[in-house]
Structures are given as C-alpha cells and as structure tokens.
Structure 1
Amino acid sequence: MKLLVTLIGLVMILEGLPYVAAPESMQRWLRQILVLSPRQLRRLGGVAMAVGFLLCYLAQKTGLFS
C-alpha cells in the first residue's frame, strides 16, 4: 500500500508540473485537445497506457534501467 500511495503521489507531481512551469502553454495544448474526436482521444490514451506498461515491464523484468 505504501508503494501504491507513493506512485500516486509521483504521478500527481508529474501531472501538475507542466501547469506550474508553463500555464499558458498548457492552456493552448488543452484547447487543441478539445478539437480531437473521442476516438482520437481514446487512441492517444491507449498508446500512453501501452507505453507506460512497457516501461514498467522493462524496469521490473529486464533490469534495463538499473
């Protein structure tokens, strides 16, 4: 449970960083996302999840990042 809470905290830090560092750029980027169709957003989310799972796998099983 401690690891899960730590990971959630790290995700929140990484998610919030662009809003603190460059709020104007984030607003422009979010406006661009509004014009995407739900299908495009779903694909983008699926790709992001796949890359995340791949990174987790590589970090845990192959020792590539150690």
Structure 2
Amino acid sequence: MAMIFLALGLVFIVEGLAYVLAPSLVERLLQMMRQLGLQERRQVGAVAMVLGLILLWIAFLLGV
C-alpha cells in the first residue's frame, strides 16, 4: 500500500513541476492533444502506459 502512495506522490510531483516550470508548454501540449483524433489520443495513452510499465520493470530489476 505504501508503494501506491509513493508512486502517486511521484506522479503528482512530476505533474506539478511541469505546471510550475513550463505552464505555457503544458498549454500548447493540451492544445495539440485536442487537435488529435480519438484514436490518436488512445495511441498516445497506450504508449504512455507501455513506457510506464517498462520503467516499473526496470525499477523492479534494479531492486527498488
């Protein structure tokens, strides 16, 4: 259970940093995402999920 809180906390930190350090970049990214079709947005989400799984797998292999 603690690992879930750790993971969520890290997600919030990274997301928050993006908004604090580059809010205009986040705005442009959101505009670009709005222009994508539903299928392309699903593909972006799938790629993000796969990258997240790969990072988790690497962390597991490193013994974290």
What TM bracket, shorter-length normalisation? 0.7 to 0.9
- In the superposition, the TM-score normalised over structure 1's length comes to 0.82
Deviation at 1:58, TM superposition (A): 2.0
Q: How do 1:40-55 and structure 2 match up within 5 A?
A: 40-55=40-55
| Runs (5+) with no aligned partner, structure 2 | none
Aligned to 1:26: 26
Amino acid at match of 1:9: G
| Runs (5+) with no aligned partner, structure 1 | none
RCO greater where, 1 or 2, for CA within 8 Å and sep 6 or more? Answer: 2
Moved more, 39-48 or 18-27: 18-27
- In the superposition, the TM-score normalised over structure 2's length comes to 0.85
Aligned-residue CA RMSD (Å): 1.8
Larger Rg: 1
Aligned to 1:56: 56
Amino acid at match of 2:9: G
- Identity among equivalent pairs (%): 36
Aligned to 1:2: 2
Give the match's secondary structure for 2:36: coil
Aligned length: 64
Amino acid at match of 1:2: A
Off by >2 Å, runs of 4+ in structure 1:
none
